[in-house]
Every structure is written in C-alpha cells, then in structure tokens.
Copies of this chain bind each other. A is one copy, B any other.
C-alpha cells in the first residue's frame, strides 16, 4: 500500500477525473478536495500539492473543458462545414461533458488570469467564431456580430437549460437532435 500510494504517477489526472465525477453528481459547489483524495486513495492534502488549491483544480478543469470544446467545434466544422452542425456540436459538448461545462462559465470558481486558461479560452472562442462566421456574412442578415452572438446565445442557453433540467418534456431524447430542431429556427434553410 505504501509503495503504491507514493508516486501515484498520474495523480493529477486521477484527481481531475474524480472531480469530474463528483461535479457531475452534485455540482461544483459541493466539491470537496478531501473527498477527491478519498476517491483516489491518497491522503487529504495530496490534491492541494498538485493544484495549489481548490480554485487551481477548477482552473485545470476549465482549461481541459475549453480545449475539448475547441476540438469538438473544429471537428464539426471540418466534417460538415455547416454552421448549424457547429452549434449542435456545442450542445453535444455541453451534454457529454456536463462537469466541464458547469465550471467553464462560472469564472468566480477559478483563476481567470491563468495563462493556460486564457489560451484555451481564446482557442475555443476562435473555433466558435469560425464555425458561425459563414452565417454572419450572409448579406441579407443583420449586424454580423449580432448574428454570431445570437447563435452562440441560442446554443449556450439551450445547453444550460437542458443541463439544469428546465426544459419541458416531449423533446427528442437525443439532445443533439433536439438542439438541431431548435437551432434551425435561427439557421433557416440549412437542413
């Protein structure tokens, strides 16, 4: 036991995964470093060694989240070339990574000035902007920025409402399909 617990090798990874489980279960507010340590089978102060403190851990979660989001968006853009599908991918990310999503847009939980974080956030922002850029350049449309923000707001709001269980019943069980139906109100003539 003593030889296995010392130099756990990838404790940060293990702890982040435990944190993701815990957050998905009961939200970031109920997160306990000591509980994570117990789940990982290490001492109560081990997590703090790697992440400094709770905010440090959540910063790492947010960084990972923005990276995964950026990946999901560029992947959707590459595969389909359709900005509606980029929006659907945004919702897909939120539903498949609820813990990441729950942290990413709650800046009071982590260090917003962490260099890794600002980089990841910028990358996600660019991916998102490129995904909806074609939509904003349609000549008949309104102000480009407003159109892009409308698209972002719609998929972000749908994600948040879905995750919080606020949406009425009767929607498609698959969140992507539900999102496709809702998003196509904004992106008419693309499906």
**Residues A106 and B146 in contact, CB atoms below 8 Å apart:** no
Q: Are A161 and B30 in contact (CB-based, < 8 A)?
A: no
Centre residue among A154, A158, A183, A186 by max chain B CB count within 10 A: A154
Q: Which among B147, B165, B170, B186 is the interface contact of A107 at CB below 8 angstroms?
A: B165
A 153-191 contacts with B by CB, 8 A: 153-161, 164-168, 170-171, 181-186, 188
Known interface pairs A156-B160, A158-B157. Does A182 touch B150 (Cβ–Cβ under 8 Å)? Answer: yes
A181 nearest CB neighbor, chain B only? B146
Chain B residues with CB under 8 Å of A107's CB are 164-165
Contact of A154 among B157, B164, B181 (CB under 8 A): B157
User: A161: which of B105, B141, B147, B158 is its contact (CB, 8 Å)?
Assistant: B105
